[in-house]
Structure 1
Amino acid sequence: MITRVDDYLHAVPLSGAVAEQVGPFTLFRSTTVWPYYARPVPGSGATIDPVDIEAVRARCQELEIPLSFEWVVETCPSLGPAAAAARLSVVEHPLLVLERDDFRPASAAARCEILPPDGAVLRQARAVASLAFADLGTAVGEAGPEDRDAKAAEISDDLVDGLVDRARRGVTVSAGAFTDHAMVASGAHQPVGATTEIVGVGTLPSMRRRGLAAAVTSVLAEHAFANGVDLILLSAESKPVAAVYERLGFRRIATAGAAE
Structure 2
Amino acid sequence: MDLRIQRAVVANLRTRPNAVESGPFVLGLDHTSDSPHINYATPLPGATITPADVAALVAAFGDRPPRLEYVVSSAPDLEKLLLDVGFAVEARNEYLICTPGTLAVPPTPAGFELVEPATDAELAGVIAVQNEAFGEAAEASPEQVAFQRRSLARGAVLVAARHTGDAAAARYAGGGTAVAPADGVSEVAGIAVGPSFRRRGLGGAVTAAITARLFRAGVEVAWLEASGDDSWRVYQRVGYRPAGRRLYIARY
TM-score class, shorter-chain normalisation, is 0.7 to 0.9
**Structure-1 separation of matches of 2:103 and 2:179:** 18
Q: Where in structure 2 are there 5+ consecutive unaligned residues? A: none
**Structure-2 separation of matches of 1:2 and 1:248:** 21
**Structure-1 separation of matches of 2:147 and 2:64:** 18
Give the partner amino acid of 1:26: V
Find the counterpart in structure 1 of residue 141 from structure 2.
Answer: 156
Find the counterpart in structure 1 of residue 87 from structure 2.
Answer: 88
**Structure-1 separation of matches of 2:219 and 2:53:** 35
Normalised to the residue count of structure 1, the TM-score between the two structures is 0.82
Answer whether contact 1:94 1:237 (CA < 8 A) is retained. Answer: no
Find the counterpart in structure 1 of residue 177 from structure 2.
Answer: 188
Answer whether contact 1:123 1:160 (CA < 8 A) is retained. Answer: yes
Answer whether contact 2:151 2:179 (CA < 8 A) is retained. Answer: no
Find the counterpart in structure 2 of residue 105 from structure 1.
Answer: 105
Answer whether contact 2:94 2:242 (CA < 8 A) is retained. Answer: yes
Q: Does 1:172 align with 2:156?
A: yes
Choose between structure 1 and 2: higher helix proportion. Answer: 1
Find the counterpart in structure 1 of residue 73 from structure 2.
Answer: 74
Give the partner amino acid of 2:181: V
- Deviation at residue 27 of structure 1 after TM alignment: 2.1
Sequence identity (%): 26
- Deviation at residue 224 of structure 1 after TM alignment: 0.9
- Deviation at residue 184 of structure 1 after TM alignment: 1.1
Q: Deviations over 1:81-107 (max 9, x none)?
A: 433343333111111110101111123
Question: Structure 1 163/245 Cα, relative in aligned 2: closer, same or farther at 3 Å?
Answer: same
Matches within 5 A, 1:1-16: 1-16=1-16
Taking only aligned residues, the RMSD between alpha carbons, in angstroms, comes to: 2.3
Runs of 4+ residues over 4 Å off in structure 1: none
Q: Deviations over 1:160-200 (max 9, x none)?
A: 23322332x14321111122321111100113242211010
| Alignment length (residue pairs) | 239
- Deviation at residue 228 of structure 1 after TM alignment: 1.3
Q: Where in structure 1 are there 5+ consecutive unaligned residues? A: 136-149
**Structure-2 separation of matches of 1:77 and 1:239:** 27
Question: Structure 1 112/94 Cα, relative in aligned 2: closer, same or farther at 3 Å?
Answer: farther
Question: Structure 1 215/75 Cα, relative in aligned 2: closer, same or farther at 3 Å?
Answer: same
Give the partner amino acid of 1:9: V
Question: Structure 1 211/85 Cα, relative in aligned 2: closer, same or farther at 3 Å?
Answer: farther
